[in-house]
Structures are given as C-alpha cells and as structure tokens.
Amino acid sequence: MYNDEIYVSTDVETDGPIPGPHSMLSLGAAAYKSNKTLISTFSVNLETLPGAVGHPDTMEWWKGKPKQWEACRQGTKPPKEAMTSFVEWVEGMDGSPVFVGYPATFDFLFTYWYMINFVGRSPFSFSALDIKSYVMAVLKTPFRKSTKKNMPRRWFAGLPKHTHISVDDALEQGALFCNVLADNTGAR
C-alpha cells in the first residue's frame, strides 16, 4: 500500500525562527521505505544568507550547545549549491518522496523557502507530513497531548539519540515515524 512512497525525514538547524532574516545552518535528511528500511542519508552545512543575522533568542540557545554549533559551521556550502544537491538527491530516489518532519511546520518552512529561492522547485510539491499531527490521529488524542512523553515507549525502542545535529535528528525522527506507521497499518 505504501511501497511507492519514500519518507524523507528532514531536520534543519537555524539561527532564527524564519528564513530570510535568519539562515538555515544545517540540513539533514534520512530517506526511509515504509518498512523502516533506510535508503540513504543527506547532510550539508550552509553558509549564512547575505544580510541575515542570528535571532538573539536562538543565538542564546546555541551558546548552550557549543559542540552542535561547531558541527553545523564546519565545511559550509553556498545555499544554492547545498540546496541543488539536496533537490537532486531527493529527485534521484526510486519512489514518490514525502517530506516528514517534527515539527514539519518549522523544518518544511526553511527547506521549502530555500528550495524555491535557490533551486526554483520542490520535489515535495507544497506538502509535508507532520509526525505530531499523525500521532494525534493514531492515538486519537488532542494535538497538545500528542507529545513524545505521551507516545508509547515501544515507538522509541532502538532510536538514535536526539543530538541537535541535523542528520542524527532526521534519522531518529524518520525511525519514529516508521514505528508509528507500522502500528497504524498493522505492519508490526
């Protein structure tokens, strides 16, 4: 039923809440089949946008994460080069790509803005699958109660650690999504 879809779990690290005035610093993605088979990963660190500045609140948060800050500032690429590579990676997959995020509203906002601005297209069209919204439907709980602390512990078994390094977090979130999908479809 879901064999055609490739779930591209995507995570970004940024220096502020919105693209344009602020920059995407790192983009990581992990492409999964519905059966939780990892197809491939993608990771790139980006140069900041000309004229953009880090938001004071976000930069204060980064001060407490020096290892992660250093990781996302190494080997940076110009945004056009980084996003062209990402779009080509997604378009090279054998299947229909579905953007998956936690929260998709944040990660897709940055990713989509950068794809349109620097590449002129999005292999995901206009849509993204939000894991928390999907969990709300699966658990039949209110959105605000559909948080990780209220999810069944079995969904987290064997997941990589959340590190705030974009590719690590994309792997973790993609595996979580596949676990929820398996429970919902009876594939477990």
The pLDDT of 60-77, averaged and rounded, is: 98
pLDDT digits (tens, 9 = 90+) for 89-132: 999 999 999 999 999 999 999 999 999 999 999 999 999 999 99
Q: What is the pLDDT of residue 138?
A: 96
Task: Give the global pTM.
Answer: 0.95
Phi-psi region of 176 (alpha: psi -120 to 50; beta: other; left: phi over 0): alpha
State the architecture of 5-185 in CATH terms: 2-Layer Sandwich (3.30)
What are the tens digits of pLDDT across the range 137-184? 999 999 999 999 999 999 999 898 899 999 999 999 999 999 999 999
When pLDDT is averaged across residues 16-24 and rounded to a whole number, the result is: 98
Is the CB of residue 36 less than 8 Å from the CB of residue 175? yes
Mean pLDDT (the chain) is: 96
- Burial of 99 from C-beta contacts in 10 A (0-12 / 13-18 / 19+): buried
- Phi and psi at 140, nearest 5°, equal 55, 50
